[in-house]
Amino acid sequence: MDEDSGQAKEEAQPGRPAGLIGAVDNVLRLLRMFEDHEMVRVNQVARDMGLSRSTVHRMLATLAHHHFVEQDPLSRAYRPGPALIDIGLAVVEKIDVRALSHGALTRLRDETGETVHLAHLRGTEVVYIDSVESTHVMRTGSRVGWTLPAHTTAAGKALLAELSDDDLTALYPSGELAAPTPRAVTTVGQLRVQLDETRRRGFATNNAESEDDVYAVATVVRDKRGRARAAISTTAPRSRAGDPWVTATAEAVVRVAKELGDRIG
């Protein structure tokens, strides 16, 4: 079968509207698998999409060439690449969560008196896309544009707690974690303990794990379908943070995140 006849057969599949380009349709369907999976494998894509392994290999090789996906060297699975992530973040920064959240961040800043951030998970890193700074002279500053190891931040841990055990293992295949401060965990096993605590309490904390003098509390923002869309965190210098601060701040962060989530479709 030549390429033209194969494409015609593909485009004529039942349930596919006339006029769709089959190869493009398949690539877009593959990319949408990352909505439910942190990483995908060739066998998994071939099975779920009803395609041959060779076809899936070519699709992923093309996407990798354009940096829409990248292959993990150890597991050989594929995860979203920088091009796909940057496009998604560019959209998010202009509409939806970020556009809706700034007022909520400001209210939370005014209530807690501390700097507030909005963040997304990008692989093993957390990316800060908005901040509203405290008015204190001594304060934690804006983190907009920063990326930090997710396992060392409250926002990152709140988002990591949304992952399954298998997804977490795929994300950290070596089981070892870098520790920017002595308080940061160094193994996935230790991280799992923190994530279990995060799920139990409904919020995550950062006790000088990303930076020596920074404490933080964070929780996820869920849309009306219950999907985690981002995380809100409140950060403060260590001198103003302690157990009473964590308790009071967590209550405010969880409440504001719920209010914001109710506005997101």
Give the domains, in start order, of the chain with CATH numbers.
Answer: 3-79 (1.10.10.10), 85-261 (3.30.450.40)
Which string of b and e fits 246-265 if b means at least 16 CB within 10 Å? Answer: beebbebbbebbeebbeebe
Q: What average pLDDT score do residues 22-37 get?
A: 89
Sheet holding 228-237, edge to edge: 147-149, 125-132, 115-122, 228-237, 214-222, 204-207
pLDDT (0 to 100) of residue 92: 53
Give the model's confidence band at 9: pLDDT under 50 very low, under 70 low, under 90 confident, else very high. very low
pLDDT of 3 reads 40
Q: What Å distances lie between residue 243 and 66, 217, 240, 246, CA to CA?
A: 48, 11, 10, 5
Lowest mean pLDDT among 1-10, 28-37, 167-176: 1-10
**What is the pLDDT of the chain when averaged over all its residues?**
88
Q: What is the pLDDT of residues 168-206, one digit of tens each?
A: 999 999 999 999 999 999 999 999 999 999 999 999 999
| Tens digits of residue pLDDT in 199-255 | 999 999 999 999 999 999 999 999 888 889 899 999 999 889 889 999 999 999 999
Q: Does residue 12 surpass a pLDDT of 50?
A: no
Average pLDDT over residues 123-144: 93
According to the model, what pLDDT value does residue 10 have? Answer: 43
pLDDT in the model for residue 48: 92
Give the model's pLDDT for residue 22.
84
Considering only 39-43, 91-95, 211-215, 225-229, which range has the smallest mean pLDDT? 91-95
- Give the per-residue pLDDT at 225: 80
User: Rounded mean pLDDT of 99-128?
Assistant: 93
Residue 101 has pLDDT above 80, yes or no: yes
Gap between the Cα atoms of 55 and 43, Å rounded: 11
Cα–Cα distance, 245 to 242 (Å, whole number): 5
Work out the pLDDT band at 14, boundaries 50, 70, 90.
low
How far apart (Å, rounded) are the C-alpha atoms in residues 196 and 191? 9
